[in-house]
Structure 1
Amino acid sequence: MIGQSIARYAAYVPAQTAVEYSDYSISWRELHETIIHRQEQLCAAAGTLFQKQVAFALQDPLEQLYMFFAIVSGGGIAVPVDEMLNSNATAVLLSSSRPSLFVADSEAPGSPVPSLTLEEVTRAEGQPSAPAALFGETDLFYGACTSGSSGRPKICLRSHRSWLKSFEAEKQLFPFRDHERVLITGKLSHSLFLYGTVRMLEYGHTVVLPVRHSPRGISRMVEEKQVTVLYAVPTMLRWLLSHSFSPSPSVRLIITGGEKWFPADNPKAFLRFPSAALYEFYGSAETSFISALNHREEQASSSCTGRLFPMVEASSCPSSGELVVKSPFLFSGYAGEASFHSPRAVATGDIGSVDEEGFLYITGRQSEKIVSRGRNVYAEEIEQVLTSHPKVKQAVVFGVHDPFQGEKIAALYTGSPAVSELLAYCRQRLPAYKIPACLQAEGLPMLASGKTNRLEAKKYYKALSKGER
């Protein structure tokens, strides 16, 4: 089961370092003992954890880690909530998912579910929850908040088996060595970074958690901690590459996902990380891994997301072109639904196809389809062109209402090229009906996951176009 390997490492290599954060170095023994103690405290404060959903919003990443494993090792379902959400957004999320308990750093007045502060939990004393023998691979253990970049967030529930099978597939694909030092560059309330942390601990690697998530802070940690594996979203990697730092030869493996990594950025990446293999993976909270691409060895177009992961089957719906995926990694349903089961297949919402060599190509998203002048246009295709311009740092494309065209294709971008220069660049690479109306911005609204917040970006565009910003 997820988390059981920690007890094994605590028994065999108790003094070795499991987690580093700030000035703290947490051994396997200390990690295991803290998790068990936190589980006892939770049970004393809230009763048995077995198959109960326990949501938590905590600032300290070590406390997030302890809480996650305490819930899971007691047979419960851990639901990390973004600690940066305001009280109204948190209440909406809790109302829709209905966890049995919500734990936060401070009191949560108006919480729609029973709540405790972390201090109240740590003051309690009790006994361990359900032993591991009472729950199995098909039981639920984790609820992931989907990113909500285009809609309301949901809690995506997962079984132990879905992650254990993902770990198994990863071992076949990514070239991990023994005793890696892995820098997790994002927050553990985001499923991508929590998964990376749990996976690395599962195989006995040392996890390094950043104090600051800025490019300078991440770069300093890479050097000071002699990081060998970098786990990051493409936005963070591009931020790192946009700052002038010396090469980092200790990094031998970069794993990135959550959004598209563009091959045009490879030369900068390999100059900065000369010893590193760069693997981009494609997937979602509902599907986990679908495909992966080794950018060091495989040349591919910007729409290619690599070869299908081991144990994954994918096909396109004949009528819509939507990608449908089958694998043992699939989620078990959304919190708030009447019953949970692992679906046999998941429609991804992406428009894609698999070629004869097993490479997957994604051309857009159903939800990001723009109907302009009667033609279907996908935002991602245009974003790929915009971000391929050497002076553009970020870009987001969306449709805005237009009384004549139905929807006008609009884009916000950051970087130094003037709008006229960027439009000329687009005209050389796109048909006329796909040329977006571009506006330059100082920055794009972002989600905690590191992805662009499309809903807020559209509002920002409208404000800029009216001269309100």
Structure 2
Amino acid sequence: MMNSQIASRIVANLTHSGDKVVIYFGDKQIKAAEFLDLIQIYRRGLINLHRHENIAILMKTSPDALALFIASLSVAKNTCFFDPNWPEDIIKKTANLAQIDMIISDDSQSAVDTLSHLVLKTPTVTADHEAEAEVNNLDGNYDPNYTCFTSGSTGLPKGCMRSEMSWIRSFGSDQKFTDIQESDTVIVPGSFAHSLFLYAAIRGLYTGATIALFTNFHPNRIVEIFEHINNGVIFAVPTQLDALVHSTCQHGENIKRILSTGSKLPISIYEKLVDVFTEAVIVEFYGTSELSYVAARTVSVDDPETLVGRPLPNVEISIKGPDGADIPMGSEGLVYVKSDLAFRGYVSHSGLQEADKSICVGDAGFFDFNGDLHLVGRMDRAFQSSGRNIIPEAIETALTSIEGVALAAVFGVPDATRENRIAAVLCIDAQITKPDLISCLRQSLATYAIPSIYYKCDIWPKTTSGKIDLITLRSKLLAKELEVLF
């Protein structure tokens, strides 16, 4: 008996799949029966531990880590994934914050209180029937929770707790756009420490599809899998998609869907995707770790750069001004979301801080007169320059639309006269000069919004999720570690 509906559904799918390959991992092809055995062994091991509250997994992406997560869902009230790249001090503090009862790691040398995964795989482990009964009676019909964390690049990570039912509702809400079927292979190109990729793996198994896992993001290794599948579905962030199209990509026609989320998908990357993945429908989701999915659309080359799409079922969006009052359609303001897909709240030393019914995560946007949502940036990235409110994302969009500009990040650099000067950091694949950039930007930006300083950066820092690490990039800029572009 399992308290988790997700775990029960996955176990049922595996039970009826027999010899079907359900996981590609490196050069391994793992069949349903083999993966099912792994889940059951882990579950028996966890039951015998008599710790059924908060379990954290400190492991790199792998079939073992995924099997352990599914097993933990079925026996624990709350399961977390910790990032193996976190420093030891961050791991200890986060465990204390989230009131973790046990950290499970595959690193026997770890300084934290861990249990090697090899212990859980011992074939002689048998179920403790009293412990099994204890698990089956945890608060009656409780709803298991999953807590994801920020990358921890700026101090202590922030934990977002989601209920299992919010995941299940998300599975139903995204089906129109993901169209995941049992015959598909879901490509999972990132770390389970980032909620998007754990969601993608569970989403595939929950539907009965095959999944492809990768310990690290290596574009050439990922595209190699395309040869072995017929109906591929890729979950990825835009920077990963850009890397994939620049790899030696063959058999792109075997990908049927590309699902982009995490940040806005630039039209320049979309155009490259269309050339490589000739049969794929490209979908962009707007969502966050806190909110799950909010809105989505099938992308078209003619879409405005700011367009996100329509709210998903059971998602209500309102645009409010600084005073919290609703503002007219077409006017920019803060995006507030009310949804049964959203998280329960943030974890803290004092317990769970329940989320408000209407949640704002700092995104700014507006509704057009067709009822579609547009995003113009994050209020916490906005800054003032010469008395003007500067939205970095709008300038970044204009920069990446210039031929030869692969990536762009815009920052405010403190200035005694202007408050901030506008600085742009660029990854360029052509001989572009500062005058060239300014000439192009004059066609799409107001004069006050055109950056006055330009820097070149060939190797861009990335977060665990594959997004641009803006904090590290800004630090490099302020430390004068970047090459000035003239």
Residue by residue over 1:146-198, the C-alpha shift from the partner in whole angstroms, topping out at 9 and shown as x without a partner, is 24577752111010111011011112333334411121111222100110111
Q: Which residue of 1 aligns with 2:327?
A: none
* Residue 349 of structure 1 pairs with residue 376 of structure 2: no
Alpha-carbon distance in structure 2 between the residues aligned to 1:424 and 1:148 = 39
Query: Which has the higher mean CA deviation after the structures are superposed, 405-414 or 278-287?
Result: 405-414
Q: Which residue of 1 aligns with 2:340?
A: 328
Residue by residue over 1:383-411, the C-alpha shift from the partner in whole angstroms, topping out at 9 and shown as x without a partner, is 11111112111111122222222222222
Q: Which residue of 1 aligns with 2:471?
A: 455
Name which of 423, 434, 449 aligns with 2:449. Answer: 434
Assess if the C-alpha contact under 8 Å between 2:161 and 2:346 holds in 1: yes
Residue by residue over 1:354-400, the C-alpha shift from the partner in whole angstroms, topping out at 9 and shown as x without a partner, is 22322110111011011122221111111111111121111111222
Alpha-carbon distance in structure 2 between the residues aligned to 1:292 and 1:132 = 38
The percent identity for this pair of structures is 26
Q: Provide closer, same or farther for how the CA distance between residues 316 and 138 of structure 1 changes in structure 2, counting only shifts above 3 A.
A: farther
Q: Which residue of 2 aligns with 1:200?
A: 204
Alpha-carbon distance in structure 2 between the residues aligned to 1:63 and 1:264 = 37
Q: Which residue of 1 aligns with 2:29?
A: 25
Alpha-carbon distance in structure 2 between the residues aligned to 1:60 and 1:444 = 23
Name which of 421, 440, 454 aligns with 2:436. Answer: 421
Alpha-carbon distance in structure 2 between the residues aligned to 1:361 and 1:281 = 12
* Residue 369 of structure 1 pairs with residue 382 of structure 2: yes
The one-letter amino acid paired with 1:88 is: D
Alpha-carbon distance in structure 1 between the residues aligned to 2:408 and 2:147 = 30
Assess if the C-alpha contact under 8 Å between 2:105 and 2:116 holds in 1: yes
Alpha-carbon distance in structure 2 between the residues aligned to 1:241 and 1:347 = 34
Query: Which has the higher mean CA deviation after the structures are superposed, 365-374 or 134-143?
Result: 134-143
* Residue 87 of structure 1 pairs with residue 88 of structure 2: yes
Name which of 289, 295, 311 aligns with 1:285. Answer: 289
Q: Secondary structure at the match of 1:347?
A: coil
* Residue 153 of structure 1 pairs with residue 152 of structure 2: no
Alpha-carbon distance in structure 2 between the residues aligned to 1:135 and 1:177 = 35
Q: Which residue of 1 aligns with 2:239?
A: 235
Alpha-carbon distance in structure 1 between the residues aligned to 2:446 and 2:136 = 59
Q: Which residue of 1 aligns with 2:118?
A: 119
Give matches, 1:35-46, under 5 Å.
35-44=39-48, 46=49
Residue by residue over 1:67-95, the C-alpha shift from the partner in whole angstroms, topping out at 9 and shown as x without a partner, is 21111011332211111222233233323
Note the C-alpha offset of 1:256: 1.2
Alpha-carbon distance in structure 2 between the residues aligned to 1:110 and 1:177 = 43
Note the C-alpha offset of 1:118: 2.7
Note the C-alpha offset of 1:120: 4.3
Q: Which residue of 2 aligns with 1:16?
A: 20
Alpha-carbon distance in structure 2 between the residues aligned to 1:26 and 1:467 = 47
Residue by residue over 1:289-310, the C-alpha shift from the partner in whole angstroms, topping out at 9 and shown as x without a partner, is 01112015x8411111111112
Q: Which residue of 1 aligns with 2:459?
A: 443
Query: Which has the higher mean CA deviation after the structures are superposed, 396-405 or 134-143?
Result: 134-143
Unaligned ranges ≥5, structure 1: none
Assess if the C-alpha contact under 8 Å between 1:136 and 1:160 holds in 2: no
Give matches, 1:286-325, under 5 Å.
286-296=290-300, 299-319=302-322, 321-325=333-337
The one-letter amino acid paired with 1:361 is: H
Query: Which has the higher mean CA deviation after the structures are superposed, 121-130 or 186-195?
Result: 121-130
Note the C-alpha offset of 1:287: 0.2
Q: Which residue of 1 aligns with 2:189?
A: 185
Alpha-carbon distance in structure 1 between the residues aligned to 2:402 and 2:376 = 19
Alpha-carbon distance in structure 2 between the residues aligned to 1:81 and 1:169 = 27
Assess if the C-alpha contact under 8 Å between 1:150 and 1:454 holds in 2: no
Note the C-alpha offset of 1:227: 5.0
Note the C-alpha offset of 1:96: 2.8
Q: Which residue of 2 aligns with 1:162?
A: 166
Q: Secondary structure at the match of 1:383?
A: helix
Unaligned ranges ≥5, structure 2: 324-332
Aligned-residue CA RMSD in angstroms?
2.5
Q: Which residue of 2 aligns with 1:383?
A: 396
Q: Secondary structure at the match of 1:450?
A: coil
Alpha-carbon distance in structure 1 between the residues aligned to 2:214 and 2:228 = 12
Q: Provide closer, same or farther for how the CA distance between residues 354 and 265 of structure 1 changes in structure 2, counting only shifts above 3 A.
A: same
Q: State the TM-score, normalized to the length of structure 1.
A: 0.91
Note the C-alpha offset of 1:465: 6.0
Alpha-carbon distance in structure 1 between the residues aligned to 2:136 and 2:353 = 21
Note the C-alpha offset of 1:21: 1.1
Name which of 261, 275, 281 aligns with 2:265. Answer: 261
Q: Provide closer, same or farther for how the CA distance between residues 168 and 453 of structure 1 changes in structure 2, counting only shifts above 3 A.
A: same
Q: Which residue of 1 aligns with 2:147?
A: 143
Alpha-carbon distance in structure 2 between the residues aligned to 1:418 and 1:67 = 52
Matched positions, count: 462
Q: Provide closer, same or farther for how the CA distance between residues 455 and 219 of structure 1 changes in structure 2, counting only shifts above 3 A.
A: same
